[in-house]
Each structure stands twice: as C-alpha cells, then as structure tokens.
Amino acid sequence: IKNSGCRTFWYFFFKDTVCNLVYCFSLDASICPEKCNCSSKNAIHCLRKLKALKLLENKLVELPTEVFDDMVQLQQLIIENNRLKSIKENLFDKLASLEELYLNKNHLTALPSGVLKKLAKLKLLNLSRNYLAALPRNIFSALTRLEKLMLYFNRLSSIESGMFDSLKELMELFLHSNNIQSIAPDAFCCLHKLRSLTLSRNKLEVLPPGLFLHLHDLSKLTLYRNPLKSLPEVLFGEMRHLGSLWLYHTKLSTIPDFVFSNLTNLELLVLSFNPDLSVLPKNVFSGLNELRGLSLHTNNISSLPEGIFLRERKIICGHLYVCTTSYLHWTVPARSHCLLSCSHCSHGCGTNVGKST
C-alpha cells in the first residue's frame, strides 16, 4: 500500500466489534493511534488482535510477502475465489496461530515446498479448484494437527510416498476429480484417524495391494468413475465403520474372492454400470453379513455361481438389471429376507426372484 497521507481503507466486523484499520505513511510517529503499533517505517498497524480475515471473491492476482506479517493472532484466513497464480514461500510465516486456510477457487499451478512450514496449528486446509498438477513431497510435513485436507478438482496425476506421513490427526482427505493415475502403496499408511477418503473421478486403472489396509476408522470411501481394470486380492483392512462402498462406472471384468471380507459392517455395495463385469466368483461377497443393499445392474453378467448369496441373509434390496445372455441361476437361502430383481434380460427373466419366510 503506497500513500502519502492517512486513509481508512477497510472495516472488519468481528465479534460485534468494528475494527477501523488505518495505515498511514510519511507520518510523524507521535500521532500513532491508541491500541495500534507504529513501526520505524512510519506505518501504523492495528491488526495484531485480528482473528479472522476474509478476502474471498475479489480479483487478487498476487499478495506481497509481508502483507500478513502483523496478524500474529489470526486463526482464519479466507482467500478463496480470487485470481492468484502463485504464492511466495514466506507469505504465511508469521501466522503461527492460523487454524483454517482457504485458498480454493484460484489459479494456482504450483506451491513452494516451504509455504506451509510455519503453520503448525493448522486444522483445515482448502486447496481445491485450482490447477495444481503436482505437490512437493514435504509440503504438508509441518501440519501435524491438520484434520481436513481438500485437494479435489485439481490436476494431480499421482500421490507420492510420504506425502501424508506427518498428518497423524487427519480425518478427512478429499482427492476426487483430479487426474490421479497412480498412488504409492504406502500413501495412506500413517493416516490411522482417517474417516473420509474420496478418490472418485480420477484415472486410476489399478490400486496397489493393501492400499487401505491401515484405515480402520474409515467410514466413507469413494472409488467410482475410475477406469479400474482389476482389484488386488488384499485391498481393505478391517473397517468396522464403513457402511457403503460405491464402485460403479469402472472397467472391472471380475472381482476377486473375499476382497470385501474385512468390511464386516458394510450395508450397501454398489457395483452397477460396469459394462465389462461378466464374472463374479462364488465367495466375492463372503464376510458381508450386514449387507442390506446390493446393486449389480447394467453390467454384463450372464450367470451367477450357485450359493453366491448364501451367507448374505440380510439383503432386502438387490438389483440385477440388463443381463445380456443366458438365464441367471442362483440359490436363495431359506429363512432369509432377500428380494433380488432381474429386469430387461435377453432371455425373458424379467421377474422378481425372491423368498421371504
């Protein structure tokens, strides 16, 4: 800010208090306002007690390195929906009290490796809806208290080993709607408190074995709309809180036996809109004792092995639509509450098949 006089340029309303921010240049230091700090550069700073700063929905293209230096008590900084193309490495160095940082909806293409190094108290970081194609491996290393990280709608192509290792408190990680083609096998191994993980709408063709093995607290996982061609035999660890799994719009041709067996409390499994899915092994649903909804419609399944649903006694809604070749045969266990529908099949099995006793 360059000015030869004094002028009021902003008003912030925070906790019912009007904070009149005055910056003066080329002043006599003797007229420093009450409760403000006058630096040797003849500048007046009244921002040391500021807790929240909202700069959203402006046209900011860049930010000076020292612009936040006086805001030592700032807890929330919102710069979303601007035109920032880059950020200087030391921009946030004085914001040691910051807990929430919103940089979403900008034009960021890259971030300096040390830009977050002083933000040890940060709990929420929103970097979504930018143009980030890659991230420095250690960019999150100082964020040991981070609970929520939003990276969706960027251009990330891979998740490297060690990127999230310091995020011991992370509970929500949003990675959907990127260009992710590969994920390191140990990418999530340190995220023991993670509850939500979104990987949908990426370009994943394969998943490393054991990728989700250590995510015992996970209650939400999205994988749909990826060109997945196969699943490893060992993929999921014990996830007692995961209630639903959506695996539609993939290129899966089959699914391994027992792959879902650790998801003992899963209630909904969606495997629809997989046009290459033609084979289901007998034990594919083994272990899903709490399953209540199963969707297999709009696939290419021509037959099902006898006894495939034998253990899934709690299924109350299942859909198998658009079968293309032969009549489907399966065994429905007695004393179960199971309704399975098969519609629009080429050999006329457009009736409900079920038994309730």
Least confident of 92-101, 274-283, 307-316, 332-341: 332-341
> So what's the pLDDT on residue 326?
34
The three-state (H, E, C) secondary structure of 190-231, written as one string: CCCCCCEEECCCCCCCCCCCCCECCCCCCCEEECCCCCCCCC
Residue 275 has pLDDT above 80, yes or no: yes
Least confident of 35-44, 64-73, 346-355: 346-355
Cβ–Cβ under 8 Å, residues 73 and 99: no
Side chain identity at residue 144, one-letter code:
T
Coil, strand, or helix at residue 355? strand
Average pLDDT over residues 55-61: 96
**Does one domain contain both 108 and 187?**
yes
Q: Give the integer Cα–Cα distance in Å for 152 and 177.
A: 6
> So what's the pLDDT on residue 293?
93
Decide the pairing of beta strands 293-295 and 317-321. Answer: parallel
Residue 154 has pLDDT above 50, yes or no: yes
Q: Give the H/E segment covering residue 9.
A: strand 6-14
Residue labelled with tokens 């990276």: 151
**Does one domain contain both 71 and 187?**
yes
> So what's the pLDDT on residue 309?
80
Mean pLDDT computed over every residue of the chain: 82
**Does one domain contain both 191 and 54?**
yes
**Does one domain contain both 159 and 191?**
yes
* 313 or 59, which is more confident: 59
Residue 129 CA neighbour count, 13 Å, CB half: 11
**Does one domain contain both 70 and 147?**
yes
Residue 99 has pLDDT above 50, yes or no: yes
Average pLDDT over residues 113-132: 98
Average pLDDT over residues 287-306: 93
Residue 82 has pLDDT above 50, yes or no: yes
Least confident of 42-51, 153-162, 256-265: 42-51
Q: Is 210 left (phi over 0), alpha (psi -120 to 50) or beta?
A: left
Q: Give the integer Cα–Cα distance in Å for 205 and 203.
A: 6
**Does one domain contain both 31 and 137?**
no
**Does one domain contain both 42 and 63?**
no
Residue labelled with tokens 């306002």: 33
Beta bridge partners of 24: 6
**175-215 per-position pLDDT tens digit:** 999 999 999 999 999 999 999 999 999 999 999 999 999 99
Domain of 57? 47-203
Burial 193-218 (b: 16+ CB within 10 A, else e): bbbbbbbbbbebebbeebbbbbbbbb
* 45 or 328, which is more confident: 45
**Does one domain contain both 41 and 61?**
no
Least confident of 24-28, 210-214, 314-318: 24-28
Q: Give the integer Cα–Cα distance in Å for 32 and 45.
A: 9
**Does one domain contain both 9 and 79?**
no
Average pLDDT over residues 26-34: 51
> So what's the pLDDT on residue 47?
77
**Does one domain contain both 37 and 65?**
no
**Among 114, 117, 105, 113, which residue's Cα sits nearest to residue 134?**
113
Cβ–Cβ under 8 Å, residues 262 and 234: no
Number of domains in the chain: 2
| Structure tokens, 187 | 């990418």
Other CB atoms within a 10 A radius of the CB of residue 236 amount to 22
> So what's the pLDDT on residue 4?
36
- Residue 34 pLDDT grade (very low, low, confident, very high; cuts 50, 70, 90): low
Q: What does DSSP assign to residue 337?
A: E
Side chain identity at residue 167, one-letter code:
L
In the chain, count H helices and then E strands.
0, 20
Residue 24 has pLDDT above 70, yes or no: no
Q: Is the dihedral of CA 345, 347, 352, 354 positive or negative?
A: negative
> How large a percentage of the chain has pLDDT more than 70?
74
Burial 304-327 (b: 16+ CB within 10 A, else e): beeebbbbbeebeebbbbbbeeee
- Which CATH number characterizes residue 123's domain? 3.80.10.10
Residue 130 has pLDDT above 60, yes or no: yes
Residue 166 has pLDDT above 90, yes or no: yes
**Does one domain contain both 144 and 123?**
yes
Average pLDDT over residues 99-104: 99
| Structure tokens, 11 | 């008003």
